[in-house]
Amino acid sequence: MPRFAEDVGQRMKYDPERHHRRTTRLQGYDYSQPGAYFVTLVTVGRACLFGNAPQGEMHFTELGAIVAEEWKSLASRYPNVQLDEWVLMPNHLHGIIVIVESDAVGRCRGGSRTAPTVRVPGLCKPLGGLIGAFKTMSTKHVNALRGTPGRPVWQRNFIDRVVRDEDELTRIRRYIRLNPARWTDDQENPSHDHTE
């Protein structure tokens, strides 16, 4: 279990050099536009909360099953989202989110399409908003189950990559599918010997 500053009675002083969030986002890129995005999210302290991958097959804990369901619900909650290949690992998630055009997207962007009879705030979100919504909801459910309200589950940022073409999409899908088989050598695996 990771140690938190409040657990040991210490508070870290803010150091802008050390605590500055560096981003991998493309400068000036509109992350709400249609396209495929490869994302990786990692748990705080790389804690293995979601299961194990013996013999290359992922087996979920109860927490893992909750997080997997929450990930799958993104596509039903947001009309501009389709989920492509994804995998939940013991302490991280890899997924391809596809943002698509839809009637709802036109309404979100101020398009001239007919307005819905029921207004749904936040119906369409850019990539960062989608990941934020997923983290919020999955954290809420995980903490309710383990009785740890307010405790972070995910690291603050996430890694993303704009998928540029079909060849890259094929490579990323393969990487995601093979991730459980490579768990013993995964850099996110706390049991992996990182000195090699």
Q: pLDDT by residue for the chain (196 residues), tens digit each?
A: 333 333 333 444 545 554 444 556 677 888 889 999 999 999 999 999 999 998 889 999 999 999 999 999 999 999 999 999 999 999 999 999 999 986 654 545 444 344 443 434 457 889 999 999 999 999 999 999 999 999 999 999 999 999 999 999 999 999 999 999 999 888 898 887 656 5
183 in Cβ contact with 56 (< 8 Å)? yes
Phi/psi zone of residue 99: left (φ > 0), alpha (ψ -120 to 50 degrees), beta? beta
The phi, psi pair for 141, rounded to 5°, reads: -70, -40
| Residue-range domains of the chain with CATH | 29-185 (3.30.70.1290)
Residue with tokens 């140690």: 3
pLDDT single digits (tens) 39-67: 999 999 999 999 999 888 999 999 999 99
| Of 73, 38, 49, 30, residue with least CA distance to 188 | 49
pLDDT at residue 6, as a whole number: 35
Rounded CA-CA distance 94/105 in Å is 25
| Predicted model pTM | 0.78
